[in-house]
Chains A and B, each alone.
Chain A
Amino acid sequence: MTKQHANWSPYDNNGGSCVAIAGSDYCVIAADTRMSTGYNILTRDYSKISHLAEKCVMASSGFQADVKALQKVLSARHLTYQHQHNKQMSCPAMAQLLSNTLYYKRFFPYYSFNVLGGLDSEGKGCVFTYDAVGSYERVGYSSQGSGSTLIMPFLDNQLKSPSPLLLPAQDAVTPLSEAEAVDLVKTVFASATERDIYTGDKVEIVILNAGGIHREFMDLRKTDAFTEECMFMIDLF
């Protein structure tokens, strides 16, 4: 007697890419704004970025319903923390909270690939990268989502720094300035848009530094090259 398999899956993948880069006194977090399902685009204007705490921002790709639920859980926990401790959560503390929150659903995971960015207690940029069930690591830069296999090698080439595991320890902070890092992020999304169908439309870039939080948008290619050509031909008639 063969086992019956479910006709329905609770998960879907809405695509998209996220990137975060940590600097000596800033952190850049970015994500595209396209939300898709299969070959359809649901919307071109969806924010995948959530401002969890004063100095802590999360970008998530994957299944956006799970992402929204996760954002709500973390916001609620942060509010409780503020009531109990009379202060904002630090980015490393939020990083561990996110890890535990993800692991609590180890046997029914949040289909959410997250990147957490912010400033640590010394004001230095920090980026934490996660898998779907909560394993995490502090890194200098990271990308997650459908375009990550395209974006990561490029970031490795530009930003690769000595591993924190080396002994004697070597400093691993990105030498880039804030403006250079933002420029790099724009370049990276433009390239990913060319070759990943799930990445495009706009990129939302959030910059965290001592002065506070700053948000900007940049337009990306909305269609692929073949469609552009077809549209051009149709316009002629």
Chain B
Amino acid sequence: MLDTTALESFPSLISHGINVAGEISAPPSFQLPNSNDFDGFVKETIQMVKPAKGTTTLAFIFKEGVMVAADSRASMGGYISSQSVKKIIEINPYMLGTMAGGAADCQFWHRNLGIKCRLHELANKRRISVTGASKLLANILYSYRGMGSSVGTMIAGWDETGPGLYYVDSEGGRLKGNRFSVGSGSPYAYGVLDSGYKYDMSVEEASELARRAIYHATFRDGASGGVASVYYVGPTGRKKLSGDDVGELHYHYNPVTPSTVE
């Protein structure tokens, strides 16, 4: 069953529950093309839309909370469409989502998730858990499985049970874990992250590890670049720790020492 809470049915906007001329208003749904070959059509539109798969995002749990980091490049094929994309989305004051895959898919469904989380708070008089939020998103994405949306996201937050981190994707997968990296630059980020990770890190050490991992990924992966943003989620909420241009980080990590010329 498709999740249609994100859609408004247009008749209801005008008539507010009173059916005009006694017509049955159609249930809200995404418009689909009248095509015999839906798969072929979807393939073509994917080519047209060219989701921004080029990205590096990562998140990990450590003693003090959750660290989340991402680059900021969006590419359409070989063209860099933006160097300043916000890939870490603030769902609410204590939960973050990361964006990888189709930019529009991630933006839209994270915004929708934020709305659902707020409605949960209002209905239940308590904040939603990270487990619950990630389940909501995973169920939505599962219902659209196979239709061509591309989402590889991590939901990171702090709830009553402590730090929480889930990986959710558009295939319908949902995994709980301590360390994730998603995107074309993820193998490079994993290399740095896995070798430097310790559970007992301070916030400064953890943010430096996250920053380094993103930097190294942007160095080797052409589809990642821009600004490396690092966020921290702790018991008091989320906080942006740093935003550094990766070009400048390169010279910070590899300082140029003047040498004598013969």
A contact set with B: CB distance below 8 Å: 3-6, 9-11, 80, 99-100, 102-109, 111, 129, 131-137, 139, 149, 163-167
B contact set with A: CB distance below 8 Å: 7, 13-14, 30-33, 35-37, 39-42, 44-45, 48-49, 52, 72, 76, 79, 81-86, 102-108, 147-149, 226-227, 229, 240-245
**In the complex, residue of chain A having the shortest beta-carbon distance to the beta carbon of B35:** A6
B31 x A107 contact (CB < 8 A): yes
A163 x B243 contact (CB < 8 A): yes
- 24 cross-chain CB contacts under 8 A: A4-B36, A6-B41, A99-B104, A99-B107, A99-B108, A103-B104, A104-B30, A104-B31, A105-B31, A108-B45, A111-B48, A131-B76, A131-B103, A132-B48, A133-B102, A137-B85, A139-B84, A149-B79, A163-B83, A163-B226, A165-B86, A166-B245, A167-B229, A167-B240
Q: Once the chains are docked, how many angstroms separate the CA of A152 from the CA of B41?
A: 30
- Least distance between B17 CB and chain A CB atoms (Å): 15
Are A132 and B84 CB-contacts (below 8 A) given A104-B7, A106-B149?
Answer: no
Contacts of A134 in B (CB 8 A): 104, 107-108
A163 x B37 contact (CB < 8 A): no
Q: Once the chains are docked, how many angstroms separate the CA of A136 from the CA of B106?
A: 11
A163 x B227 contact (CB < 8 A): yes
B244 x A166 contact (CB < 8 A): yes
Q: Once the chains are docked, how many angstroms separate the CA of A86 from the CA of B105?
A: 32
Q: Once the chains are docked, how many angstroms separate the CA of A167 from the CA of B138?
A: 32
Contacts of B45 in A (CB 8 A): 107-109
**In the complex, residue of chain B having the shortest beta-carbon distance to the beta carbon of A164:** B84
Contacts of A137 in B (CB 8 A): 82, 84-86
Contacts of A6 in B (CB 8 A): 35-37, 40-41
Contacts of A136 in B (CB 8 A): 107
Q: Which of A3, A103, A105, A164 has the largest count of B CB atoms less than 10 A from its CB?
A: A103
Q: Once the chains are docked, how many angstroms separate the CA of A108 from the CA of B32?
A: 6
Contacts of A4 in B (CB 8 A): 36-37
Contacts of B42 in A (CB 8 A): 107
**In the complex, residue of chain A having the shortest beta-carbon distance to the beta carbon of B71:** A165
Contacts of A111 in B (CB 8 A): 48
Q: Which of A3, A5, A108 has the largest count of B CB atoms less than 10 A from its CB?
A: A108
A107 x B32 contact (CB < 8 A): yes
Are A131 and B104 CB-contacts (below 8 A) given A6-B36, A109-B45?
Answer: yes
Q: Once the chains are docked, how many angstroms separate the CA of A106 from the CA of B14?
A: 24
Are A100 and B244 CB-contacts (below 8 A) given A6-B37, A107-B42, A108-B31?
Answer: no
Q: Once the chains are docked, how many angstroms separate the CA of A167 from the CA of B42?
A: 40
Q: Once the chains are docked, how many angstroms separate the CA of A60 from the CA of B82?
A: 18
Checking A3, A11, A107, A139 against B30 with a beta-carbon cut-off of 8 angstroms, the contacting residue is A107
**In the complex, residue of chain A having the shortest beta-carbon distance to the beta carbon of B76:** A131
Q: Once the chains are docked, how many angstroms separate the CA of A163 from the CA of B87?
A: 13
Q: A4-B37, A99-B108 are in contact. List 19 more A-B contacts (CB 8 A).
A: A5-B37, A5-B40, A6-B37, A10-B33, A11-B48, A99-B107, A104-B31, A106-B149, A107-B31, A107-B33, A108-B33, A111-B48, A129-B82, A132-B48, A132-B49, A134-B104, A135-B106, A166-B243, A167-B240
A3 x B40 contact (CB < 8 A): yes
Contacts of A80 in B (CB 8 A): 13-14
